[in-house]
Structure 1
């Protein structure tokens, strides 16, 4: 029988702990969010983050970029926020306007304010498995929190991560590697036969490529743990990158879409924000 990895329930627990930590701080926690107001998904997501942050006692400073935004102008904005002692965390909401080099923007964020862990400094610490505290991109860190909550073993397990973005796939690969899993990093351009062969031996599958039903139950090893990071809309309905119906009965654990990784991403971002405020 397939067990549901209930991200909404685990996010609720995480948020309760975050709110308690905020209440114990003797200073305000403020998260600055830079986003492209022309992107419908970004506007929706920023609104959801702001609403949840307010419920936990975190102030958000939502900053839309203007229509003529350039890499240089956004970096200048980031540098101003880095210097603002009232801002305890910074999030650069991807995607930004066409032509803006996001990797340069991510790395312009001061490490001690990098709430989403996307800068080169903190990602280097992740890949180096550094002993110091550092933030990790919210989506993959949220996945790890979910796996730990359900006591899913990663040590010596075979894992496949499908998706190679800086926001998800690459840090997900590093986190699972640091947890002593043997990890293969694949993506939408991995040859089909190669990917199917990898999936058939994978104990853990984490997929985020933005293609509806990219993975079916027939592709999976029996008993695999399946984490679906995808969020797609088909005929007005939210669906993941995994065909949920066919995967049930094959997977031992699976995340639903919605209600799986999405709530964990927001909860982890706000958890990161409070961690930075506590430390700095």
Structure 2
């Protein structure tokens, strides 16, 4: 019988720990969130982050950019936040309006305030497996926290990451590789035969391509650990990138919702607290 990786419960425990640590530190971190208010998903996520942050003692400052924003205009916003000593962390909630180069904006965030780890400096540290404490993209870091909580050690295991985005796939692969897994990256354009062969041998599968039911139960090895990062709406109901029937074959599985989503937010708050502690030294 499949065992559930309960991200909701683990995130709750992490938030409680953060609340205690922040209270003891005497710090009052502030997270600035730059987002496009016209994007429904961004508005939803920003609202969820506001509520979660308030509960642990982190203030949020939401900065909505206009529909006609340009890369240059958003870079100026980020530059001001970089210089603002009252701001502990900066989150760029992608996607931004169409005329804005998201990657260019990620790169402009000061490394010490880059709490989602998407700037070139922090991504370089991750891919170099540099020692020390630096921010890592919240969703992949949340996945690793979830695996650790359930004592699932990637060392020596075959892992397949399906997705190659800067926000998820690339940092996810790096974290698993740094944890001594043997890692292959696939994506939506990987040939079906190739993907089938990869998944048939994978001990750990992490998928985030934004396509409902992209991964089928028939493709999964019996007993595999399956992490579903997808969040889609089909007929008004939330579903992931892995079909529901995978529960009959996987050994471990994240639910959607209630799996990776809560971990992403809790991990972002953890990175914000860690940034505030580093800046206070």
TM-score under structure 1 length normalisation? 0.99
C-alpha distance in 2, partners of 1:236/1:104? 34
Please show how residues 129-278 of structure 1 align to structure 2 within 5 Å: 129-244=129-244, 246-278=245-277
Map of 1:34 onto structure 2? 34
Map of 1:6 onto structure 2? 6
Contact (CA 8 Å) 2:68, 2:99: kept in 1 or not? no
What are structure 2's unaligned runs of at least 5 residues? none
Map of 2:22 onto structure 1? 22
Q: CA deviation at 1:186?
A: 0.5
C-alpha distance in 2, partners of 1:184/1:147? 18
What SS does the aligned partner of 1:166 have? coil
C-alpha distance in 2, partners of 1:267/1:96? 23
- CA displacement 1:5-35 (0-9 Å, x = unmatched): 0000000011011111211223321000000
C-alpha distance in 2, partners of 1:45/1:133? 26
Contact (CA 8 Å) 2:223, 2:250: kept in 1 or not? yes
What SS does the aligned partner of 2:73 have? helix
**Which ranges of 4 or more aligned residues in structure 1 deviate by more than 6 Å?**
none
Map of 2:70 onto structure 1? 70
What are structure 1's unaligned runs of at least 5 residues? none
Q: CA deviation at 1:248?
A: 1.3
Worse overlay, 182-191 or 22-31: 22-31
What SS does the aligned partner of 1:272 have? helix
C-alpha distance in 1, partners of 2:207/2:164? 10
C-alpha distance in 2, partners of 1:278/1:153? 29
What SS does the aligned partner of 1:248 have? helix
Q: CA deviation at 1:249?
A: 2.3
C-alpha distance in 2, partners of 1:190/1:67? 35
Aligned residues: 279
What SS does the aligned partner of 2:223 have? coil
C-alpha distance in 1, partners of 2:124/2:220? 32
Q: CA deviation at 1:66?
A: 1.3
Q: Please, what is the CA RMSD of the aligned residues?
A: 0.7
- CA displacement 1:133-182 (0-9 Å, x = unmatched): 11100000000000000001211100000000000000000000000000
Map of 1:81 onto structure 2? 81
TM-score under structure 2 length normalisation? 0.98
